[in-house]
Structure 1
Amino acid sequence: MLSIPEIAASLVEESLTNISDDNSCSICLVGSSSAGKSTLLNTFLDRNDTPRETLVMEYSFGRKTNQKQGIEKTICHVWEYGGKLETFKNILPSIPVMGKFFYCIMIDLAKIKSLWYTLETCIEAMLTSYAEQKSAIELLIIGGKYDIFKNYDAEIKKLICTTLRSVALLFKGHIVFYSSKEPNLVRRAKDILHGIGFGNGVPNKDKIFSFTKPLMIPKGTDSWDNVGVTASTLEQVKAQLLSRISFDTELPPLSEGTVGIQQAHLESSLDAKVAMKFEELRNLDTLDISLGDYLLNNFH
């Protein structure tokens, strides 16, 4: 009797065998943790599930009947990565590039000090994993939590928008800003994912270039002149940004709430075991799940 993971793998393999350029699309969504990736995907796939922490790589799909073809259905394969970004390059090659493939990087606009690390790490993984398939991949940069970013200082917003537009120009990518708390941005992001998943790609009728508004820039509609900077390399874009903002390159420290789990039991012996396990897990480089969730699941 097959296990649940084996059944899931079998279903994925079966669906992938029917992929063609005409009836399928793949979306790979990666980026900042807690930026809203799962919430956005649930909206796109019309799911009412409560967003939860994504463990490493999760697969889902959507179907839509192709009216021109009758019974034939268009399938959108969705891969979401929620593990550590530094290990993503080892996992990305396992995602097949078949049919139309959209590589979506979601950054947290509310955390500008880790923005470049997320963007650079995800781009390097894409270039390393798909070096021979660049022409088959489209890049979409999604700026999450715009509801917070819009209240930032004007110069900071201009700098971040200039950086993202420069990166998009270098890799022929699209840009869209999103917030789960602003209905108009939710609708726009959903329409874009629907377009790349089941339609004709990112719509280019509505374009927004101003840093004072939520960006919406389809590839091919921007230029270095419009951005207001000279054509640059990725390293030059990075240097310009780092000259203005100091960026974090390490993972954030553990929260106080997680540490508090060590004193969660009536028996001191259990608390001691939790503390030992906590220290052991804290020093692991390969742990991809939340320490809090792990300890709660294993000691409660």
Structure 2
Amino acid sequence: MPKVSSDTLWELAAEEVRSREAEDGEEESGGTLVERTVFLMGSKAGGKTSILLRCLDRDEASKPTLALEYTFGRRARGHNTPKDIAHVWELGGGSSLSDLVQIPITPVSVASLSVILILDLSKPNALWGTTEKLLEVARSQLEKVFSKAQQQQQKSKPGARHQLFHSAARVLPKDYPDRELISPFPVPLLIIGSKYDIFQELDSDKRKVVSKTLRFVAHYYAASLILTSIKSESLMSKTKSFFSHLAFGVDKSKTMSCDSTKPLIIPAGSDSFSQIGAPPTTDVDIPSLHAKNPKDLWRKIYECVFPPEKASEQKELKDPAKDPQYSEPQIDAMRAQKDQELDQCKRNAAKTWK
């Protein structure tokens, strides 16, 4: 009898489990537990935790997210059936801790993974930079996971199906709007614009720039888009509907609003470049921008209206120990004392060397 390596046995066992889960997930009346993973990231202090708690129906005060935090939600599909589970990861610190995406985005989670990007509408100058940085890091990690899955598939027996790769790879329908002109995010993506109540106080022309730009970005990545506020029960109800679709497989919301004077609510696949129109070019000389592609053009026009944060300000956020939202008086006092002792030790050592 030929010897079979333990790695191969584990791969076959994992493939069998994933296959059964996929079959059970297709049966609405099935009694098998379904687990999904949702990864939240976005603007620093942008209201991610508050929105998440509302979506999970938890009546508790939100606290600043420390680096990367995990929680979960449950939902029953019907009577006498086990509750489905949503594993929820939340990344804190804006884009400063983006390297931590490798923890929630793994070969185990990617087959049922969705990503939610929450952007703080009250800080439009940081909006594009936060979006681009976080989505690039997440996409890079997803590509690494898919690449590893492909390598495993090539090593398996001829004709064998690698459930991880096939079930995780996102494929848009042939009739998806502007299918050849967009760059779909590898997994389902939801973009949430938070603090809409504060956003309404902006000048109407600037609100239009933000709204149209978010529509372009969402459509470019084949993502759903909603602008919301935790102070509005109606908007939070619609936000929860989008979240429940990703977390528990609930039917998609059919509500849609493309009016820039109102909160945008646009399910993925409902918009198009022709409906969005050209970038708002008020007081902007387009030829002088030297854009390489449509996305680059939108970015440059947006940054003409909302100049991005200075690099020096962004570098300061790289050290969570200096971030006010993570302050701990007793620990900070002890840290300051130890820093002083270290400086004194260095000075004494320098004198000794001389």
Distance 1:46 1:100 in 2: 22
Q: Does 1:290 find its partner at 2:339?
A: no
CA distance in 2, matches of 1:98, 1:239: 33
1:165 equivalent to 2:176? Answer no
In 2, are the aligned partners of 1:170 and 1:233 still within 8 Å (CA)?
Answer: no
Write the deviation string for residues 190-218 of structure 1: whole angstroms up to 9, x where unpaired: 22212221133542x11000110000000
- Report if aligned partners of 1:139, 1:173 keep a CA contact under 8 Å in 2: yes
Q: Which residue of 1 is the match for residue 87 of structure 2? A: 77
User: Which shows bigger deviation, 217-226 or 118-127?
Assistant: 118-127
Partner of residue 96 from structure 2, selected from 77, 86, 98: 86
Equivalent residue, structure 2, for 1:213? 262
User: What is the DSSP-based 3-state SS (H/G/I as helix, E as strand, rest coil) of the residue aligned with 1:28?
Assistant: strand
2:119 paired with 1:107: yes
- 1:98: how far off? 3.5
Structure with higher Rg: it is 2
Once residues 213 and 316 of structure 2 are traced to their aligned partners in structure 1, the CA distance between those partners, rounded to angstroms, is 34
Supply the distance in 2 between the matched residues of 1:120 and 1:25 (Cα, whole angstroms).
25
- Given residue 239 of structure 1, which amino acid in structure 2 is its aligned partner? K
Q: TM-score, normalising length from structure 2?
A: 0.65
Shift of 1:188: 1.4
Q: Is contact 2:121–2:198 with CA below 8 Å preserved after alignment?
A: yes
The aligned counterpart of 2:195 is 145
Q: Give the residue type in structure 2 aligned to 1:294.
A: S
What secondary structure, in the 3-state scheme, does the structure 1 residue paired with 2:97 have? helix
| SS of corresponding position for 1:103 | strand
In structure 2, distance between residues paired with 1:242 and 1:284: 21
Segment drifting more, 173-182 vs 239-248: 239-248
Alignment of 1:188-267 (within 5 A): 188-200=238-250, 202-203=252-253, 205-229=254-278, 233-250=294-311
2:317 and 2:323 in contact (8 A); partners too: no
Q: Which amino acid aligns with 1:143?
A: G
Percent of aligned pairs with the same amino acid = 27
- Letter of the 1:144 counterpart: S
What is the rounded CA distance, in whole Å, between the counterparts of 2:58 and 2:218 in structure 1?
Answer: 30
What is the CA distance between 1:291 and its match in structure 2? 3.9
Check conservation: 1:25, 1:98, Cα contact below 8 A.
Answer: no
Return the TM-score normalized by structure 1. 0.76
Take 2:304 and 2:294, find their aligned partners in 1: how far apart are those partners?
16
Query: What are the superposed Cα offsets for residues 67-108 of structure 1, whole Å, 9 maximum, x if unpaired?
Result: 27x4332111110011351331x2112213344322111111
The structure richer in helix per residue is 2
Equivalent residues of 2:91, 2:97 under 8 A apart: no
Distance across 1 between alignment mates of 2:76 and 2:21: 15
CA distance in 1, matches of 2:131, 2:111: 25
2:36 aligns with: 25
CA–CA distance in 1 between the matches of 2:244 and 2:204? 32
Structure 1 Cα separation of the partners of residues 246 and 278 of structure 2: 30
In 2: Cα distance, 1:283 partner to 1:157 partner: 29
Give, in whole Å, the separation in 2 of the partners of 1:295 and 1:166.
Answer: 41
Choose the corresponding residue for 1:187, options 229, 237, 245: 237
Give the letter aligned to residue 190 of structure 1: K
Correspondence for 1:263: none
- Is the contact made by 2:96 and 2:318 (CA closer than 8 Å) also made in structure 1? no
Output the CA distance in 1 between the equivalents of 2:297 and 2:35: 37
Aligned to 1:271: none
- Any stretches of 5+ residues in structure 1 without a counterpart? 1-16, 254-281
1:65 corresponds, among 76, 79, 82, to: 76
CA RMSD after TM alignment: 2.7
Q: Which moved more, 1:112-121 or 1:235-244?
A: 235-244
